[in-house]
């Protein structure tokens, strides 16, 4: 072999090696994002690995499908009752349960440790977790998400440090949102876990806590606005009391109203056009929370002149704890013009606390969708899966299966409502039940023009009134026939 041939051979070898190296560099990381994988740091901005390498993008396959990683009833683009299914629901992933849920309960330690977690609550871990979250939403086909400030970023020793941590993680979320339709359905502040909030936040007996809570809400509202969020939620988990013996209820309610008014003022100041939502809950962790149910929250808003500034985020499990059905709470909110959002979950009637289970009861889902359809939808609100895996469900795959099941259940509910409306029997039954008010005197009553003298004259003229059957069993039969 001549020297020239040797040189050409070496050059060819170097060229091949260079091409191979370029291909390796250009190929995105596809290894699983667990701590043992030899991948780049998932918290870095240029990392392109997969957190769910064994999970495909979830697609609609129809009711006959046996694939657990597919939609059987939820077909996002299908039009029902004049809207696409995705627009009726506006499904949202709850960051705190899906990515911060550990499986712990009041009697047991955590049972879950996802492969990408390193056991810390560092900013780097928060960034890594945010990337997992966006991959999850992309594969699930969901465009909205909800968060508490302290779920997505670690707290700090000072407000300034906490805000800096939040800014750093939010910058990652903002970048991940680019080029996609993903954005927050709503944000909120975690004003219940830290010991400073043991007496409440806006209802705390300590003015320093009140001010701290205001600063935290201010920042969380700014972040929600920056990310394009459409709503902001107030859940007063500790806005209540354990005993009235040491509580000035009037003062606390007044303070809470002033806090919420300040939030309204700041929302307008920064140009945030999102809806402010109050989430009723009767108790747990406090003995009595001031936003006990939809009716109580409405009365509070009326008293303090806040109607028109707030709507309600109804959670089905909270309805159960307040002694109501979810349907009752939704209808109470709806008829008062307050239905803004739904936390889609359910509880267990045999367990006395807020279990946050995924909704899988088709009958309940149908009742929920009856209210949503009557409301004309929920936008700019939606359905947020404030629900968590059971303590014993520990596979990454279970995160997808739970959401698919919840989405399919509500989709079946919507399809059932369409059947009920098309059939018309239930609406006709209700119409006939109140048909006596279609009379002349009935019209006067509903117009507020029937005085007692007029009604007394009619009562004497008619004599003993006849009372028709309520037809409850027929109503239930019609309803069940649609399921």
Strand partners, 233: 188, 277
Looking up tokens 């700019």 gives 380
Tokens of 340: 């803004």
Q: State the sign of the Cα–Cα–Cα–Cα dihedral 405, 411, 413, 416.
A: negative
Q: State the sign of the Cα–Cα–Cα–Cα dihedral 59, 64, 69, 72.
A: positive
Looking up tokens 């670690």 gives 154
The DSSP 8-state label assigned to residue 29 in this structure reads P
The whole-angstrom separation of Cα 420 and Cα 48 is 47
DSSP conformation letters of 49-69:
-BS-TT-PPPEE--TT---TT
What's the angle, vertex CA 196, arms to CA 167 and CA 315, rounded to 5?
Answer: 75
The whole-angstrom separation of Cα 108 and Cα 82 is 47
DSSP conformation letters of 259-278:
HHHHHHHHHHHTT--PEEEE
The whole-angstrom separation of Cα 427 and Cα 475 is 9
Q: Please answer whether residues 61 and 411 qualify as being in contact, where contact means their C-beta atoms are separated by less than 8 angstroms.
A: no
Single out the catalytic residue among 97, 133, 148, 403.
Answer: 148
Strand duo 240-241 + 288-289: pairing:
antiparallel
Looking up tokens 């005085």 gives 451
Strand duo 275-278 + 231-234: pairing:
parallel
Furthest C-alpha separation in the chain: 126
Residue 207 vs residues 199, 202, 210, 412: alpha-carbon distances, Å: 11, 9, 5, 49
199 catalytic per annotation: no
Cβ count near 260 (within 10 Å): 22
Looking up tokens 């936040």 gives 201
Q: State the sign of the Cα–Cα–Cα–Cα dihedral 124, 126, 130, 133.
A: positive
Query: 16-43 b/e with 16+ CB inside 10 Å = b?
Result: eeeeeeeeeeeeebeebbbeebebeebb
Query: 278 — phi, psi (to 5°)?
Result: -110, 135
Residue 370: its H or E element: helix 362-374
Q: Which residues are catalytic?
A: 148
């Amino acid at each position: 072999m001549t020297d020239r041939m040797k040189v050409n051979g070496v050059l060819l070898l170097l060229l091949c090696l260079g091409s191979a190296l370029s291909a390796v560099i250009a190929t995105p990381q596809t290894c699983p994002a667990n701590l043992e994988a030899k991948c780049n740091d998932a918290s870095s901005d240029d990392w392109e690995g997969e957190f769910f390498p064994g999970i495909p993008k979830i697609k609609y396959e129809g009711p006959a499908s046996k694939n657990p990683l597919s939609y059987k009833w939820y077909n996002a683009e299908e039009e029902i009752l004049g809207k696409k299914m995705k627009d009726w629901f506006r499904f949202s992933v709850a960051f705190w349960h899906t990515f911060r849920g550990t499986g712990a309960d009041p009697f047991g330690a955590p049972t879950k440790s996802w492969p990408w977690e390193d056991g810390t609550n560092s900013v780097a871990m928060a960034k890594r977790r945010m990337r997992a979250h966006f991959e999850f939403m992309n594969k699930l086909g969901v465009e909205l998400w909800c968060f508490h400030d302290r779920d997505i970023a670690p707290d700090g020793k000072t407000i300034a440090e906490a805000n800096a941590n939040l800014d750093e993680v939010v910058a990652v979320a903002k970048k991940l949102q680019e080029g996609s339709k993903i954005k927050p359905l709503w944000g909120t502040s975690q004003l219940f876990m830290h010991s400073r909030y043991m007496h409440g936040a806006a209802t705390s007996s300590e003015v320093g806590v009140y001010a701290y809570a205001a600063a935290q809400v201010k920042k969380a509202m700014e972040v929600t606005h920056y990310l394009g969020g459409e709503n902001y939620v107030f859940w007063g988990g500790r806005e209540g009391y354990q005993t009235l013996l040491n509580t000035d209820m009037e003062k606390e309610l007044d303070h809470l109203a002033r806090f919420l008014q300040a939030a309204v003022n700041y929302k307008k100041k920064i140009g945030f056009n999102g809806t402010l939502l109050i989430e009723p809950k009767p108790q747990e962790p406090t003995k009595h929370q001031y936003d006990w149910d939809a009716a109580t929250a409405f009365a509070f808003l009326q008293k303090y002149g806040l109607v028109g500034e707030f709507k309600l985020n109804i959670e089905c499990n909270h309805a159960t704890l307040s002694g109501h059905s979810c349907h009752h709470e939704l209808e109470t909110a709806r008829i008062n013009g307050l239905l803004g959002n739904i936390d889609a979950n359910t509880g267990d009637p045999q367990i006395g606390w807020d279990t946050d289970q995924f909704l899988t009861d088709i009958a309940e889902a149908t009742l929920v969708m009856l209210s949503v359809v009557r409301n004309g939808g929920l936008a700019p609100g939606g359905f947020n899966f404030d629900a968590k895996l059971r303590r014993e469900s520990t596979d990454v795959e279970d995160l997808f299966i739970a959401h698919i099941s919840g989405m399919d259940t509500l989709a079946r509910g919507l399809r059932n409502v369409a059947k009920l409306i098309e059939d018309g029997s239930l609406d006709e039954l209700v119409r006939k039940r109140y048909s006596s008010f279609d009379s002349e005197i009935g019209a006067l009553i509903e117009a507020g023009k029937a005085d007692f003298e007029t009604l007394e004259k009619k009562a004497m003229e008619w004599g003993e009134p006849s009372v028709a059957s309520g037809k409850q069993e027929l109503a239930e039969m019609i309803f069940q026939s649609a399921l």
